[in-house]
Amino acid sequence: MNDTKAWEVDTLRGHFNNVSCVMFHPKKELILSNSEDRTIRVWDVTKRTGIHTFRRENDRFWIITAHRSSNLIAVGHDAGMVVFKLDCERPLAQCHGHSLFVVQDREVQVVDLDKGLKGVQLGSCRRAANAMTAGLKSLQFNTYNPTETNILVFYTQDGGCYDLFVGASNITADTNISPKQGNAQGLVGGNITLTSEQVTIMKKHRNIVLCGPNAAGKTTLLYKLKLPNEKTTVMPTIGFNVESIQYNLQVFDIWDLGLRSKARPLVRHYIPTCHAVALMIDVHDDDWLDAEDFFELILHNLDDHNLHVPLLIWVNKMDLPVKVQPHEVCERLKLEQHARCRPIHVQPCIALNDEGLKEGLDFLGAAIAGEIPFGLTLASTPETSKPASTTRGIAPPAKPSPAGGEVPKSDEVFLEAFEAGELPSFGPKEMMRLAFLQRRRGGTAQMTLQAAKLAGYVKHATRMHFWASRVFETPLESAETSLAFLAKHPDLFPEDADAQEALVAAAYSERVDTDPTWALVAQPPDRLHSGREADAAFLARVEELMIEADELSSFRSLVRLAFTLLCQQDRKSAIKRLDTALQKLAEGWTTPAGESALRPFHETRQYVALQLAHLALTQCPELKTGSFSKLEERCPDLCDEDCIFKYYSEEVLQNGRKAFVPPDREPLPSVVK
């Protein structure tokens, strides 16, 4: 520039109307401008590019100014003035002992809080890729390495990267550490390994909502975990307590909510952002209805805001005379049903004695990491400090006392004796007879099991469910009574006890007798019975018109049929084969009572079932060499009986019988979760 001429250094283009005001930021390498095009633009001085735009729909901006020492920007527009911040002013920091590690103006400093607030500089962070924001995300100090100082600074830029500062344990004013830089996309499991002696761990904080009825022991549990070696006296919680618990290289931020009756709806503000929910139940409390109400409240919020979040149920005060056993908690809360879309674990505990607490944390850590599939698990009961008079273990309810005599042969008398609890014995044969009668009524194998449980006849849920399922997998044909049905299919239930055990052993591994959860909650077969052979047999019965209407009335059966076809051929051929088979069935498909089948052929249901099965096989190709049971284990939501009603209302689905109709509730999924 001279007295008569100025040279243009560069041009920044972006505004499309008159620029009203422009200025350099007093602290950062930024240019701020506003315009009559109703925008404020932020420019990077070094790169000469726009990096952010603020827009206001109805007002033009005229003037702009920045605070000299803070991050505040003020702009004037037609209707008034707006003040905003360009970036968060709170620095990254972490305390350890009497030292505070902090990042200030790209400098990593350590402050000895005993000596004052003046910090010692350790080194410099990398320059941010964006002049508007620092790009800093987190700072972590390695508390597990006493021989060195390890500090990890994590950035959001470049898809995630880090600076690792490694220095001596004694930091002086002359210390200057050059960081080792790396790409965070290479991190596996949150670990950065340098040498065998030098490990820096990025601890991830996990938000855990701890709630339950009043006086269940939530605060006692929290401070037993926080201060395990100290005696603490807890008071009823008003509002909430929150503590960070370091356990197995993880940090659980546990929120102990003291939600009395009127404040309980406030739990909806904590559920959406949590990583897991822990519910504590007092089994010594007579007011079981309060626990049920609280569970329903939690479940409602989980279903609305955080569907697949893990759920831990601590069953506390097992050292006192219990009013409800852990297995009864599973039944009363219907946990097996709710575990279809989340992992649920029931952990008996004694909070005062620190028993069962860490086992609960083990579940939370594994479930949050995705290492535990959806389903229900039940831990063993702590035995110490338990009165002998109340020690019942975790055993299913005993069947009612028999009235003596033989099991009635008439189905009517058999059913009356069953409902009255007067059957002299109840084994696999009786279970299959009950399943036959339930099937004639339109029930399912699970409904049969539930009825037997409520009547107190079930000693082993998985074994009983196995025998009931065999009835539902076999055509009823013209059998009029349960005994006639079993006589017509002698392979379903051999009279020899060894042959019966051989059938169970062919379907289940040794876990059926060693895992206590399997005795309480019915589990699918984990051997050949539910493998590809069973899927092929199911398909053959459909195409040979040997299947009854009620066997294909469920949406799960349609998904299984589509899955089996897609494992054998391409999508186009599978669609044609599926339609052909179901149309043939629709011509003469009737229920055992002679009534018309409810869903002989339904174009929309068939398309959705095939679409979900094809989606699962496309995104999880390893399933193509497996069986339908593997699909159920990997994608339980897709195989759920009510899955289709997530996308369709009953009214719209009713209109899609002869031609496909699009979903009205939400689009069909494009990603398998």
How many angstroms separate the CA atoms of 125 and 122, rounded? 10
Order of strands, sheet of 39-44, starting from the edge strand that comes earlier in the sequence = 19-24, 30-35, 39-44, 49-55
Pairing of strands 30-35, 39-44: antiparallel
Reference 280, options 332, 330, 349; nearest CA is 349
Write down the residue that tokens 């539902």 correspond to. Answer: 472
Name residue, tokens 């100290």. 230
CA distances from 442 to 419, 425, 438, 469, 549 (A): 18, 25, 6, 14, 11
Q: Are 553 and 599 in contact (CB under 8 A)?
A: yes
Residue 317 in marked binding region: yes
Q: Which residues contact 499 (CB under 8 A, 6 or more apart)?
A: none
**Residue 150 counted as an annotated binding residue:** no
Say whether 41 sits in a helix, a strand or coil.
strand
Helices 461-472 and 497-507 sit at what angle, rounded to 10 degrees?
Answer: 90
Residue 147 annotated as binding site: no
Is 218 among the annotated ligand-binding positions?
yes
217 belongs to an annotated ligand binding site? yes
Helix, coil or strand: residue 18: coil
Cβ-contact 160, 136 below 8 angstroms: no
Secondary structure class of 371 (helix, strand, coil): coil
191 known ligand binder: no
**Residue 625 DSSP label:** G
81 is annotated as contributing to ligand binding = no
The Cα–Cα gap between 313 and 326 comes to 10
Residues 187 and 154: beta-carbon distance below 8 Å: no
How wide is the angle at C-alpha 565 spanned by C-alphas 562 and 567, nearest 5°? 110
- The DSSP line for 571-618 is HHHHHHHHHHHHHHHHHH-B-TTSPBPS-S--HHHHHHHHHHHHHHHH
First CA to last CA across the chain, in angstroms?
63
Q: Is 658 annotated as a binding residue?
A: no
User: CA-CA distance, 206 to 251, in Å (whole number)?
Assistant: 6
CB of 551 closer than 8 Å to CB of 557: yes
> What is the residue type of 337?
Q
Is 323 annotated as ligand-binding?
no
Residue 212 annotated in ligand binding:
yes
Q: How far apart are CA 500 and CA 432, in angstroms?
A: 13
Dihedral sign (CA 228, 233, 236, 241): negative
**Residue 78 among known ligand-binding residues:** no
Instruction: Confirm if 347 and 356 have CB atoms less than 8 A apart.
Output: yes
Residues annotated in a binding site for Mg(2+): 219, 237
Residues annotated in a binding site for GTP: 212-219, 316-319
